[in-house]
Amino acid sequence: MIIKKFFVTGTDTNIGKTTISSILLKKAKNYGYKTAGYKPISSGMKKYKNIASHLSNNKYQLINQDAYILQKNSSIYLTYKEINPISFLESAPPNILSLINGKEIKIKNLSSGLKKISLKSNWILIEGAGGWFTPISNKYTFSDWVKIEKFKVILIVGIKLGCINHAILTEQSILSNKLTCVGWIANNIYPKNKYTSYYIQTLLSYIKSPLLGIVPYLKNTDQINIDKIKIKLPT
């Protein structure tokens, strides 16, 4: 079975990687794929009602919102732990939280978690944390793992001041490491930006990878009509 695996990175943190991933997962499902989201490392957790509370005394559980969204939008059933094997309560870079909590992050563990999901799914989105060079230890960044696994990369560009520089540098790094950037997606993270069209035209002049789509500002990300979101499914 051919398994498609894509690593989703972004020009910054909080630019819509998870929202875009949820849309792509739904679109891939409509094409008949067995889809799965994978968030190997997360930081920042909130209390959610425990849907399995009848099996334990805990009415609530601490989970990462991004991982929860990926779980909810995967077409196959995966436990929360399968989707997000490494998590931290606070919101900070993984290498710092790893050091503070004495919880070493090993690249081999990221790969072993992915291998388990690959037994159930044939279309997998792996979501990073922050940007391309987010460190997972004082020796490795997320990009080092991508190079080892030779993932195809999807670049999410949050349309805002500074995104042009960040997008160009990120793509250059991806390509310089002989990786494939299957495309980039422009995400309008603010309701109004009079320079949006200029940002996108400038990026089209500099970014070599194809534009997969432009996502409008989404006020309510819990209720997204994917038929109205024009994004090409990466290949």
Q: How many Cα neighbours within 13 Å face the side chain of 114?
A: 23
Spatial CA neighbour of 145 closest among 113, 122, 123, 117: 113
Helical residues (DSSP H) of 31-162, grouped into ranges: 65-73, 80-83, 94-101, 107-118, 142-149
Contact at 8 Å (CB) between 136 and 105? yes
39 is catalytic: yes
Instruction: Tell me the residue length of the chain.
Output: 235
Catalytic residue among 5, 26, 29, 39: 39
User: Coil, helix or strand for 154?
Assistant: strand
**Catalytic (active-site) positions:** 39
